[in-house]
Amino acid sequence: MTIDISDADRSWEFFETVRAHMARHGHPATPRVYEVWYAYACRQDAELVERLDQAIALPHTVPVALIEALHEEFFARERQTEVVRQTGEKLSNELTRILQMLANAGRDTSSFAAALEKIAARLPPDGELRKIVDTIVLATRHMEAKTRRLEAEIERCSSEIRSLRQGLEASKREAMTDPLTGLYNRRAFEERLRIAAAHSMETDTEMALLISDIDNFKQLNDAWGHQIGDAVIQVVASSLKESLPAGSTAARYGGDEFAAVLPGLSIAEAEALADRTRTLVASKRLRDTTTDKPIGQLSISIGVAGYVLAERLDDLIRRADKALYGAKDAGRNQVKSERIAGNK
């Protein structure tokens, strides 16, 4: 891959600026700290820049606790702005560029030393040419020593960047995952729904949406406590994930409510899948492990809606939600669908 010189210079400038800030204030090289300082170096979010400028202007170093708080405010919350999301993507791209620059630098210095050795080996051992050889050999030795130091620095920087990238990827996965169930969270669900809808429009293929929740969950939670309630949520999440075909997205939509994006499925196929999921959940037999008492019949209600090309996604979600409430009103533990013109 060829790197444009201006891009390479800019990537290295950002990297060095971030490292300088972190070193000046004694901050650890963690992904969260790096991400905040990188956003500051890019100066793309005026509010974050202003907050850090105020902290830097004070006579003491910027506390790492402030950096953590800024990360929570600007990166971790669900109200994360589009500018900050773009900054995170840009950061990953810049780190990729820097890694390649460092790798190329390592190859170049090693190649230079090897080339000098080959030249020295081919020259005659006497006469004026020998003086040139001695000079080249001496220069080579100096260059090799510098190269070894440079390569050590390159390896240190490369290792640091690889660690940062891994941490950033882990942070991204964590930010999109519901910690109780391991499913996608609502923010990730909305992103996956947008992607699936765009693909459906581009390829003129069908897509369906399921929204479900646990029947009488509040009463169950009140009667058995939050630990049992959490266990029930995990069982339903596992059943939903088990039922879905490859390429689908299962998410915890909120509380005891779940959603699934089903690319390539018609509304009829989605209804059949939803009913299999409902049956699977109803087959579970749960007991309180501390008392060995049966918890009772577990069931879910599911609403299904098929995507209509160019439809607003808010309308699609509203129709699936309406179908869910139709299932609830009809007696629970069943599947209902919301059909409009264009659905089959």
DSSP labels, 63-124:
PHHHHHHHHIIIIISTT--HHHHHHHHHHHHHHHHHHHHHHHHHHHHHHHHHHHHHHHHHS-
Q: For residue 150, give the nearest of 114, 116, 103 by alpha carbon.
A: 103
Pairing of strands 249-254, 335-338: unpaired
Q: Annotated catalytic, 256?
A: yes
Backbone dihedral region of 310: left (phi > 0), alpha (psi from -120 to 50 degrees) or beta?
A: left
Reference 250, options 211, 217, 214, 195; nearest CA is 211
Which residues 6+ apart lie within 8 Å of 53 measured at CB?
A: none
**3 state DSSP class of 259:** strand
Query: 326: which 2 tokens?
Result: 């139709």
- Distance, in Å, from the CA atom of 51 to the CA atom of 38, rounded to the nearest integer, reads 14
Look at residues 11, 30, 276 and name the one whose alpha carbon lies nearest to residue 168: 30
With beta carbons less than 8 A apart as the criterion, state whether 251 and 192 touch. yes
- Token pair for residue 246? 């490859």
- CA-nearest of 198, 8, 190 to 99 is 8
Q: Which helix (H) or strand (E) holds 208?
A: strand 207-214
**Identified catalytic residue from 256, 288, 314, 329:** 256
CA separation for the pair 52, 62 (Å, rounded): 8
The token pair that represents 129 in the structure block? 């040419």
C-alpha distances out from residue 109 to 32, 105, 112, Å: 33, 6, 5
The full length of the chain comes to 344
Active site residues: 256
